[in-house]
Amino acid sequence: MATIGGVCFIFNRNLFKMADSEGAEKVLFVFDFDHTLIDDNCDTYAMNVAPQLNLIEKVHEMRKEFTLWITMMNYVMKAQYEHGSKPEDVLRVMKEIDLIGPMKRTLEKIKEHPLVDAIIVSDANSFFIRAILENHNLADVFKTIHTNPACFNESGCLEISHYHAHCCTRCRKTPNMCKGLIMHSIAEERSTYSRIVYVGDGSNDYCAAMHLSPRDHVVARTGYGLAKRIAAEKPPPSFNVIDFTDPQAAVLLQSLMP
């Protein structure tokens, strides 16, 4: 365990030795989106398109009834559309969302690094993610974005679909997406990369982490669901734990690049 710039992180020395011995091989960075690349939840932030509707209270009521999250989001987008919102209003609100400082600097570094690829695995949706990234000129950083498809229908209302169906017991709360299943499919091209660095925050990132090999890194946001689940593991795995909001996070993440 070490502390750098007030950030506590745990590292596996063997992983760093392996990277040195294998030379300049490619590395794949896999990012969650909400509370990882942005310091917000873009789904709940989208309710600011028509804040006077106070949709957050309705969403809380629907959650008590175990309504699926995507069903709730489609309700939110339809309610705002019926109130008079247009696609440009949704885009305007998404452009208000900033990236976490260290994450933005890391993405800018990845953008110019020939030996690093990046993808997103997120339970948000394609329109929100792309709108935010394009606003920061970072959409072309990512090789692939695995997320729930979303597009405006002919009337101008945003509609969100499920990414896929699954039967993973770890991911019962997100029946529209199992991040572990996505990581399993990515593993098929694993020979392209010397290691994978998974960066996330939530409990639904845990399944993805469990599909990585010992040579990979999991970087978990301090105090959030993923870090807590990792801490509960006995014996604890040798994963990095970095606070994304600390200015030193960019330096630490870049140290994992070739």
C-alpha to C-alpha distance for 236 and 258, rounded to whole angstroms? 26
Q: Which of 34, 205, 243, 246 is catalytic?
A: 34
Confirm or deny that 32 is annotated as ligand binding: yes
**Helix 69-82 × helix 87-94 angle, to 10°:** 120
How far is residue 178's CA from residue 173's CA, in Å, rounded to a whole number? 10
H/E segment holding residue 116: strand 116-125
Q: Is 123 within any annotated ligand binding site?
A: yes
Q: Find the farthest-apart pair of alpha carbons in the chain and give their distance in angstroms, rounded.
A: 60
Q: Is 20 a catalytic residue?
A: no
Q: Would the annotation count 34 as a binding residue?
A: yes
- 43 annotated ligand-binding residue: yes
Q: Which residue shows structure tokens 């309504």?
A: 67
Residue 246 marked as a ligand binder: no
Which residue in 20, 32, 117, 216 is the catalytic one? 32
3-state SS class at 31: strand
Secondary structure of 180-245 in HEC code, one letter for each residue: HHHHHHHHHHHHHCCEEEEEECCHHHHHHHCCCCCCCEEEEECCCHHHHHHHCCCCCCCCEEECCC
Catalytic-residue membership of 32 = yes
Binding-site annotation: residue ranges for Mg(2+): 32, 34, 201
Binding-site annotation: residue ranges for substrate: 43, 123
Binding-site annotation: residue ranges: 32, 34, 43, 123, 201
| Active site residues per annotation | 32, 34
